[in-house]
Amino acid sequence: IRQLVKQRRPRGFPPGPTPLPMIGNILSLWINEYCHFIIQIFSLDLGGISTVILNGYDAIKECLYHQSEVFADRPSLPLFQKMTKMGGKCWSNSWMEHHKLAVNCFRFFGSGQRMFGRISEECLFFLHAVEQHQGKPFNPKHLVTNAVSNITNLIIFGQRFTYDDSDFQHMIEIFSENVELAASGWAFLYNAFPWMEYVPFGKHQKLFRNANKVYDFLLQIIKRFSQDRVPQSPQHYIDAYLDEMEQSATDKATSFSQDNLIFSVGELIIAGTETTTNCLRWAMLYMALYPRIQEKVQMEIDCILNGRPPALEDKQRMPYVEAVLHEVLRFCNVVPLGIFRATSQDAVVRGYTIPRGTMVITNLYSVHFDEKYWSDPSIFCPERFLDCNGKFVRHEAFLPFSIGKRHCLGEQLARLEMFLFFTTLLQRFHLQFPEGFIPSLSPKLGMTLQPRSYSICAIRRQQ
Ligand code: HEM
């Protein structure tokens, strides 16, 4: 049997550990022993799915940047086929037209001075809600999630949801639970053995139940927000999508459809919310953990802003804030393995052959801890992003948003959100842990890395 299993690895494929019968190397994903950064390219058999793992900046750049076209697909995994009926921009074969529409909508509805103003408005709602806790301990998770998701909501629905909208909150909660479950052993087992659909217990069933609830909720709100639509005069992403759908109605090859609208809306909501929320939650945690760094952030905020709200131009004038946010992105690795890619044609990397359709995992975590590019990578040190004059410096091996054709399309928006939420929060409050509370720094594992729940006190500052 072992011989048979071994033959599943294609000829010339990168080497990897011997797979176990049936389940292959699924267990090594958790044992982690083969994910050592020294091995830049190796393979795993994830229950019959041949997968290439890329480690470190050099290998990832070589594939995602220098062979951008070849590494631009997403794998068609049974789990995502089942959950999206093979729809959704991320996973579908015809990702390009969805990608183009989303990029245009983000540019049109989600950038520039107007968006800056709308994020600043959301910051005021956020500060007001934090204020309600009057310096007493609270878990910031829900508040940050609500505030951050509203920015994507503005682009998708043209409107924010109030912080007490329990239906919307429930949808985000179970969606985010799915992001966690999608990286569980059950999810990998389902990908290897799709007949597990008929096994009535297990976390894969929870995933499907959650996905169905999210689908029903999104269907309802999409209907609600498209009621007053004026064709060819889009006010938000849904309008723009429906325009595209109407225009391509006679084109048999089009991928614009009612189902794909629902999946792409879901994908944009979760991609924009889960990531930026986790980054801000890590940033708050590290500020309370390192009061000296917090103090330096506040000194810069007070010196540059002098009590007024931040403006768009201030971002360049606040190198220490930028350095701290970059270090949070590097150190906390909210999307540690990127989003799984696949090869669109046969590829050759460092003498190895990678056939078309192979799943590729980009270990972005390894890039940020790559000792060739970072000194003492396991130390949280914002100063690594500053030169000797205190000016912000970029680092080549900094890829929290990945690179290449499928890199994060919300990068600019995320950077703006992080800057505004972080700056306005620390301008008004001092963050500290409740007396005697020691936070856990080990993340909760999933497709994203989030901090374990913690309580924090936001004490109003005297300025
Ligand atoms: C994809 C990171 C915020 C929308 C990705 C990828 C990463 C990432 C690593 C995978 C790219 C690849 O496969 O190479 C982050 C981080 C964020 C963030 C760290 C915040 C700190 C956002 C926001 C949005 C967004 C605010 C917008 C709503 C997307 C979408 C994709 C994506 C739609 C899929 C792109 C595609 O398949 O072509 N993101 N992201 N992200 N991100 Fe983000």
pLDDT in tens, the chain (463 residues): 343 444 467 889 998 888 887 778 877 765 554 444 568 999 998 888 889 999 999 999 999 999 999 999 999 888 888 877 655 555 556 688 999 999 999 999 988 888 999 999 999 999 999 999 999 999 999 999 999 999 999 999 999 999 999 999 999 999 988 888 888 888 888 888 889 888 888 888 999 999 999 999 999 999 999 998 999 999 999 999 999 999 998 988 888 999 999 999 999 999 999 999 999 999 999 999 999 999 999 999 999 999 999 999 999 999 999 999 999 999 999 999 999 999 999 999 999 999 999 999 999 999 999 999 999 999 999 999 999 999 999 999 999 999 999 999 999 999 999 999 999 999 999 999 999 999 999 999 888 999 999 999 999 998 6
Q: Which residues contact 319 (CB under 8 A, 6 or more apart)?
A: 300, 385, 386, 390, 391, 392
Q: Which atom of ligand 1 is nearest to the CA of 148?
A: 26
Q: Which atom of ligand 1 is nearest to the CA of 89?
A: 37
Neighbours of 435 (CB within 10 A): 7
Per-residue b or e along 400-414, where b marks 16 or more CB atoms closer than 10 Å to that residue's CB = bbbbbbbebbbeebb
Q: Environment class of residue 462 by beta-carbon count within 10 Å: exposed (0-12), middle (13-18) or buried (19+)?
A: exposed
Long-range contacts of 160-169 (CB under 8 A, 24+ apart): 160/122, 160/125, 163/125, 163/129, 167/217, 168/221, 169/142, 169/145
- Of all protein residues, the one whose alpha carbon is nearest to atom 7 of ligand 1 is 401
Query: Do residues 21 and 5 lie in contact, with contact meaning Cβ atoms separated by under 8 Å?
Result: yes
Identity at 432, one-letter amino acid code: Q
Q: What is the pLDDT of residue 200?
A: 87
Helix (H) or strand (E) holding 171: helix 166-181
Instruction: Compute the distance from residue 272 Cα to the ligand 1 centre, in Å.
Output: 7
- Of all protein residues, the one whose alpha carbon is nearest to atom 20 of ligand 1 is 276
110, HSE (Cβ side, Cα atoms, 13 Å): 30
**Distance (Å, rounded) from C-alpha 161 to C-alpha 413?**
19
Q: What is the pLDDT of residue 274?
A: 93
Identify the three-state secondary structure at position 168: helix
Instruction: Compute the distance from residue 3 Cα to the ligand 1 centre, in Å.
Output: 40
Q: Which residues contact 396 (CB under 8 A, 6 or more apart)?
A: 57, 373
Instruction: Compute the distance from residue 117 Cα to the ligand 1 centre, in Å.
Output: 22
Ligand 1, residues 401, 422, 447: which to mutate, most atoms within 8 A of Cβ?
A: 401
Instruction: Compute the distance from residue 90 Cα to the ligand 1 centre, in Å.
Output: 10
Q: What is the pLDDT of residue 4?
A: 42
Between 95-109 and 258-289, two packed helices, what is the crossing angle to 10 degrees?
A: 60
Selection from 243, 241, 271 nearest residue 259 by Cα: 241
Q: What's the pTM?
A: 0.93
Based on its alpha-carbon atoms, the radius of gyration of the chain, rounded to whole angstroms, reads 23
Tokens of 107: 């540019």
Point out which residues pair with 429 in neighbouring strands: 460
- Of all protein residues, the one whose alpha carbon is nearest to atom 43 of ligand 1 is 408
**Distance (Å, rounded) from C-alpha 134 to C-alpha 89?**
43
**Distance (Å, rounded) from C-alpha 100 to C-alpha 286?**
36
- Of all protein residues, the one whose alpha carbon is nearest to atom 2 of ligand 1 is 401
The structure tokens 């708050």 sit at 284
Point out which residues pair with 359 in neighbouring strands: 51, 342
Q: What is the pLDDT of residue 47?
A: 80
Instruction: Compute the distance from residue 200 Cα to the ligand 1 centre, in Å.
Output: 33
Instruction: Compute the distance from residue 274 Cα to the ligand 1 centre, in Å.
Output: 10
Query: Do residues 283 and 427 lie in contact, with contact meaning Cβ atoms separated by under 8 Å?
Result: no
Instruction: Compute the distance from residue 410 Cα to the ligand 1 centre, in Å.
Output: 6
Instruction: Compute the distance from residue 365 Cα to the ligand 1 centre, in Å.
Output: 15
Query: Do residues 140 and 281 lie in contact, with contact meaning Cβ atoms separated by under 8 Å?
Result: yes
Instruction: Compute the distance from residue 415 Cα to the ligand 1 centre, in Å.
Output: 12
Q: Which residues contact 252 (CB under 8 A, 6 or more apart)?
A: none
- Of all protein residues, the one whose alpha carbon is nearest to atom 36 of ligand 1 is 406
Long-range contacts of 110-117 (CB under 8 A, 24+ apart): 110/151, 110/154, 110/155, 110/413, 111/412, 111/413, 113/312, 115/154, 115/413, 115/416, 116/311, 116/312, 116/416, 116/420
**Distance (Å, rounded) from C-alpha 161 to C-alpha 164?**
8
Query: Do residues 360 and 341 lie in contact, with contact meaning Cβ atoms separated by under 8 Å?
Result: yes
Q: Which atom of ligand 1 is nearest to the CA of 273?
A: 26
- Of all protein residues, the one whose alpha carbon is nearest to atom 1 of ligand 1 is 408
Q: What is the pLDDT of residue 84?
A: 73
Q: What is the pLDDT of residue 388?
A: 96
Q: Which atom of ligand 1 is nearest to the CA of 335?
A: 9
The structure tokens 């029903």 sit at 216
Query: Do residues 125 and 248 lie in contact, with contact meaning Cβ atoms separated by under 8 Å?
Result: no
Ligand 1, residues 275, 324, 399: which to mutate, most atoms within 8 A of Cβ?
A: 275
Ligand 1 interacting residues, C-beta cut-off 6 A: 90, 99, 152, 267-268, 271-272, 275-276, 279, 334-335, 338-339, 341, 400-402, 406-410, 413-414
Query: Do residues 207 and 201 lie in contact, with contact meaning Cβ atoms separated by under 8 Å?
Result: no
* Phi, psi of 288, deg, nearest 5: -70, -30
Query: Do residues 384 and 279 lie in contact, with contact meaning Cβ atoms separated by under 8 Å?
Result: no
Selection from 170, 232, 176, 191 nearest residue 78 by Cα: 191
